[in-house]
Amino acid sequence: MKYFPLFADLENANALVVGGGEQATQRVRLLRKTNARITVVAERVNAELRALAQRHAIQVRLRRFVARDLQGQRLVYSATGEEGLDAAVARAALARAIPINVVDRPELSTFIMPAIVDRAPVTVAIATEGAAPILAREVKSRLEALLPSNFGALARHAQRLRGRIAKAIPDARSRRHFWQRLLAGPFRNAILKGARKEAQRILAAELRGAATVAAHGRVALIGCGPGDPDLLTLKALQRMQEADVLVFDRLVNPAILEYARRDAERIYVGKSPRGAATAQAEINQILVREAAAGKTVARLKGGDPLIFARAAEEMAALQAAGIAVEVIPGVTAAHACAARIGLPVTLRETVRQFCLVTGANAAGEPDLDWDCLAREHSAFAVYMGVGNAALISRKLAAAGARPDTPVVIVENGTQENERAFATTLQDLGDLLSEVAIEGPAVIFFGLDWSSAGLARPEHVRLFRRGQKRQPAGALPAVPVKPPGKPPGKPPASPQVTP
């Protein structure tokens, strides 16, 4: 972040605009939305600025800028269009430590102008640090469409009610939950449609309820997907914003935490393979403890909470303690990783069932139906399987799986450090010996691109033992079906459940 976002208080402050053309006028229009005292200095000004001066809305000095014009100014805009004059204004402002913006000259400026969505007193400022203003305008247009034109009325009502509500609800946490209810429910709707009397009735009822009902804690088990924040659901974002406490582990991308409230307490309960780990029983106790204290808790989980994430144990502990629990689904890692590399997980004629299995159990080794998984046309994804990949390969081979069964590994799927490799069952061990897989990974068995008539993506590396690697983008060299086998109706899909 090159520019730190701030909002300047211009209430009865002095602001100077140097220049009298259209760009200077645009700055004056913005400043007039505040209660600043505006002075324009220019040898000539346009008709709009002259009219404002005649109405005493601004002061105009019809002469060339001099350094003493900066005396007592809170901030300065220079929009003369003269390179030398703009530079002189910037030097003079810098010498006096006065914030300066020179139009289209970021190298001379100490602040830049954002795109603004004005729903006063709600103001949204969007900037790209000068890199791509058109993107800021895109965000502005989306927000303009999203926020009702009278959205500021809701904020003005909230401002008037702050003292009354603070007196009625002294506890800060209960008061925050009350505000969340008030500004997201029927009161909000009544204000936005202009129904003032209805809003007052709703407010009175809410205050009566707040005075008699103690705040109860609750927990949301939130699926955060495999890492890309763009894959978060809207409901996940809403629950994260409501949370007083975030309980998260190493599978949650740190970037996702930025979407939560900044004042939310953060509790790390990470588990590392063959390393330090927070016991599941302790995690359960943390969730119960925090919710029992009346807090809103967000338990953040990688992928989907109900797929190999031990959500059932946490739900059971919370239900036993009488605490409300909600599950917010997320994009599970297998589906997200497959989508990233364009790998179909089902095919109409050959892969009609796709299974999710875990590569480790409580004893450390997977206990799966190897005969079923090894059948031809079986396709499945293994979670947490890198550590036991050699064992999985041996078990599948012993159960009759073909040595050339396609295998695809995606590490850190959907994140910036994502890596993907394509190999075969017989070469999986050699691949893992050569390439250290340290991040969370999903291993796909029985799936490839050629059987779907697709090319392997360029960023997916192909690995074959004792064979020069093929260029990315080429079709995998090993066919999924035995050569010469005539097409026909595939056998019944095995009944494998994760």
Give Cα separations from 454 to 349, 380, 449, 468 (angstroms).
16, 19, 5, 22
Q: Residue holding tokens 């909002």?
A: 7
Is 427 considered catalytic here? no
3-state secondary structure of 348: coil
Is 249 considered catalytic here? yes
Q: How many helices (H) and strands (E) does the chain have?
A: 16, 18
The answer to whether the beta carbons of residues 141 and 115 sit under 8 Å apart is: no
Report the alpha-carbon distance of residue 252 to residue 256 in Å, rounded: 7
Give every strand in the sheet of 100-102, ordered side by side: 59-62, 37-42, 14-18, 75-78, 100-102
Q: Which two tokens stand for residue 281?
A: 């029983």
The DSSP 8-state label assigned to residue 68 in this structure reads G
Beta-carbon contacts of residue 498 (< 8 Å; ≥ 6 apart): 307, 308, 355, 356, 357, 358
Q: Which amino acid is at 346?
A: T
Report the alpha-carbon distance of residue 106 to residue 283 in Å, rounded: 50
Spatial CA neighbour of 425 closest among 367, 361, 373: 373
Which of 249, 304, 427, 448 is catalytic? The answer is 249
Q: Which two tokens stand for residue 33?
A: 């939305």
Spatial CA neighbour of 156 closest among 102, 192, 120: 120
The answer to whether the beta carbons of residues 392 and 359 sit under 8 Å apart is: yes
Torsion sign across C-alpha atoms 133, 138, 139, 141 = positive
Calculate the CA dihedral of residues 419, 425, 426, 429 and round it to 10 degrees: 40
Which of 271, 369, 371, 481 is catalytic? The answer is 271
Beta-carbon contacts of residue 407 (< 8 Å; ≥ 6 apart): 422, 423, 424, 425, 427, 428, 443, 444, 445
Catalytic residue positions, numbered: 249, 271
